Structure formats: C-alpha cells, structure tokens
C-alpha cells in the first residue's frame, strides 16, 4: 500500500504532504481528529466516526468544510487509491491557518486533512495479548467528549505507563472516580456486573465502547454505565480496554495486582463477538 494523504482536494505522498506552519492545529492545538480502522480495505464504522467528528467540530465551533457524505466518499477514495487493506485513516480538522491569536480568526477557512497508514492484520482471538495497566490521575480538562488534538495529558500518562512497563494508563479524577484510558475506554467486572463510565463530558464516547455495549445487550450480559472508583476497580474480576486500535483488549494486571483471569469469561465472549462484528462489516 501507499501512505497517501489528502489535503483540500489533492493527494500527496504522506512524506510530501504539507500544511502551513501557521495552521492553528499546529500552533494552538485548535482542532479535532478521528482515527478509523480499515479492515480488508473497508473503513470500520466510518459513519459513526464522521458523526463524532461533526459533534467535536460543533463543540469547538468549527464548521465542517464539506458535507459528511463528501468527506465519507473522500475517505473511501483515499483507501482505494492507496490500496489500504489493513490500516487506519487519520482525519484532522483545524480552524485553519492565520496570524497567531487566541481569538478565532475572522476569515480563515478550516483545514481538513486525512491520511492512511498500514497496520498488521488482526490476530486470531487466541493470540491477543492481555496487557498491563497502571492507574494515574486524570489531568485533562472537563470536555473529554471532544476528540481534541490537545493530547498532552494523555501523552504524559501513556509515557509514564510505558516507563512502568504498562501498555495503558487507567485515569481517575480527584475524587478517585475512574474515567477511561489515555486512548481507550475501560470496562471492569465488579461484583459480577460489567461497569463502564457513562458517556458524559469526562470521557470520549468511544465507537468501540458503543459496539461493546450493544454486544453486551445482544449476549444478555447485564451491564451498567455507572462510574466506579479506584477502590472498586481493585476488586474487579475482569477488566478490558476498548478502542479502534486496541479493539477489545483484556487487562492482565492493574498496578501490582494481577486480575484473576485475563481474558476472563465475559471479555472472551466479547472478543469473539467483536470479531464477528468485524467479519460482518468487511
Ligand atoms: N483513541 N478514549 C480516548 C481518550 C481515546 O483517545 C480513544 C481513541 C478512545 C476509544 O475511542 P474509539 O473506540 O472510538 O477508538 C477512548 C484513538 C484510537 C487514538 O487517539 O489513537
């Protein structure tokens, strides 16, 4: 495949694609983004990602420069042109390029870019490695439902987690309520019930999270979108992270505590069911 980029109607090789040094996304983090998985040449849940992009853009008062259906056909064309079979589309929308100022520029057009990159094809469910996680304070703002390019708190926590030998940091607010991961949503089985933080301003409403919630319904597994505390998490029998790139990823240990099973029985069922969703959508 070719790592291809699209900027405002034109295609470029990713290494040659350029935007202005005064782009507000670059200077000020004034933008939003999406990451969309491509399985077997087909973007997975593209419409759901585009609807979230629109909601993020609205929340920071950027007008989408194109209709959603045109952005969708451009994404499909990009995947096709670059012969992307297994990979992802990265899409970013910024307020555009203008003389640096905290105020929104008056006559600047938003800049939409997208590019594709390859990923390894998905592994067999049996080969998915449970991962270690650590808990760290959630130092982000109060509008985490916006998929903003301002990712510094996420990056710092992820780096700290990696340096502690973990793949993900599970974040908690000052009152010790667990919110989500640095790049994933977190589920835990506490007292026999599947729990995950409600989709409010404190988390990103993950597309994978939504799929998992509907799978839980289909499988008649009782769940509750009710936040849990660090203390409750420490009693969990199972936990897993969900995201576009992590899919449904079992958590093996949180801090120094090993979970009793990873993947546990519920997570195993979800991993298999998620594979069926992928198969149905490719
Ligand atoms: N991250 N929470 C956060 C903070 C995220 O950054 C992500 C996704 C998710 C899961 O969302 P979804 O299921 O829609 O991918 C939850 C992407 C993949 C990233 O930044 O790379």
Q: Which domain holds residue 260?
A: 125-280
Count the alpha carbons within 13 Å of 267 in the hemisphere toward its beta carbon: 29
Using the predicted structure, report yes or no on whether residue 189 has a pLDDT greater than 90.
yes
Among residues 53, 83, 118, the one where a domain terminates is 118
97, 174: one domain: no
Nearest protein Cα to ligand 1, atom 19? 183
20, 109: one domain: yes
Burial per residue of 226-261, b for 16 or more beta-carbon CB atoms within 10 angstroms, e otherwise: ebbebebbeebbbbbbbbbebbbbbbbbbeeeebeb
- Number of structural domains in the chain: 2
Using the predicted structure, report yes or no on whether residue 165 has a pLDDT greater than 90.
yes
Atom index in ligand 1 nearest the CA of residue 180 equals 2
Give yes or no for a contact between 88 and 35, defined as CB atoms under 8 angstroms apart: yes
- State whether residue 263 is helix, strand or coil: coil
Using the predicted structure, report yes or no on whether residue 261 has a pLDDT greater than 90.
no
Atom index in ligand 1 nearest the CA of residue 33 equals 20
Q: What is the pLDDT of residue 193?
A: 98
- How far apart, in Å, do the first and last CA atoms of the chain sit? 18
Q: What is the pLDDT of residue 226?
A: 98
42, 142: one domain: no
202, 269: one domain: yes
Among residues 118, 153, 173, the one where a domain terminates is 118
Average pLDDT, the chain: 97
| Percent of the chain clearing pLDDT 90 (strictly above) | 96
| Cα separations in angstroms, 203 against 49, 185, 227, 270 | 16, 8, 11, 21
Q: What is the pLDDT of residues 4-30, one digit of tens each?
A: 999 989 999 999 999 999 999 999 999
37, 151: one domain: no
Give yes or no for a contact between 51 and 145, defined as CB atoms under 8 angstroms apart: no
Residues belonging to the active site: 147
Q: What is the pLDDT of residues 94-153, one digit of tens each?
A: 999 999 999 999 999 999 999 999 999 988 899 999 999 999 999 999 999 999 999 999
Nearest protein Cα to ligand 1, atom 9? 184
Q: What is the pLDDT of residue 244?
A: 98
How remote is the CA of residue 204 from the centroid of ligand 1, in Å? 7
95, 163: one domain: no
184, 256: one domain: yes
79, 96: one domain: yes
Give yes or no for a contact between 171 and 137, defined as CB atoms under 8 angstroms apart: yes
168, 104: one domain: no
Atom index in ligand 1 nearest the CA of residue 52 equals 14
How remote is the CA of residue 245 from the centroid of ligand 1, in Å? 8
Q: How many contiguous H segments (helices) and E segments (strands) does the chain have?
A: 7, 15
Tokens, residue 234:
């420490």
Q: Which residues line ligand 1 (CB under 6 A)?
A: 35, 180, 183-185, 204, 206-209, 242-245
């Amino acid at each position: 495949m070719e790592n291809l980029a699209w900027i405002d109607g034109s295609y470029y090789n990713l290494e040659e694609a350029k935007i202005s040094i005064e782009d507000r996304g670059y200077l000020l983090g004034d933008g939003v983004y999406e990451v969309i998985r491509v399985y077997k040449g087909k973007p997975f849940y593209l419409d759901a990602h585009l609807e979230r992009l629109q909601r993020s853009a609205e929340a920071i008062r950027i007008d989408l420069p194109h209709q959603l259906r045109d952005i969708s056909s451009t994404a499909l064309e990009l995947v096709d042109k670059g012969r992307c079979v297994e990979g992802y589309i990265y899409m970013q929308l910024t307020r555009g390029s203008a003389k640096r100022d905290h105020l929104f520029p008056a006559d600047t057009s938003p800049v939409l870019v997208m590019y594709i990159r390859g990923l390894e094809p998905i592994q067999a469910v049996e080969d998915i490695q449970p991962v270690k996680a650590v808990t760290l304070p959630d130092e982000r703002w109060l509008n985490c439902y916006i998929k903003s390019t301002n990712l510094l708190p996420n990056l710092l926590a992820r780096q700290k987690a990696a340096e502690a030998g973990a793949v993900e940091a599970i974040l908690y607010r000052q009152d010790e309520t667990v919110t989500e991961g640095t790049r994933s949503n977190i589920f835990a089985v506490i007292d026999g019930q599947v729990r995950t933080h409600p989709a409010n301003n404190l988390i990103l409403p993950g597309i994978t999270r939504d799929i998992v919630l509907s799978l839980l319904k289909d499988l008649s597994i009782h769940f509750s979108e009710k936040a849990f505390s660090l203390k409750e998490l420490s009693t969990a029998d199972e936990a897993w992270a969900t995201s576009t790139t992590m899919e449904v990823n079992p958590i093996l240990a949180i801090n120094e505590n090993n979970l009793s099973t990873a993947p546990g029985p519920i997570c195993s069922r979800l991993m298999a069911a998620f594979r069926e969703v992928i198969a149905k959508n490719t």
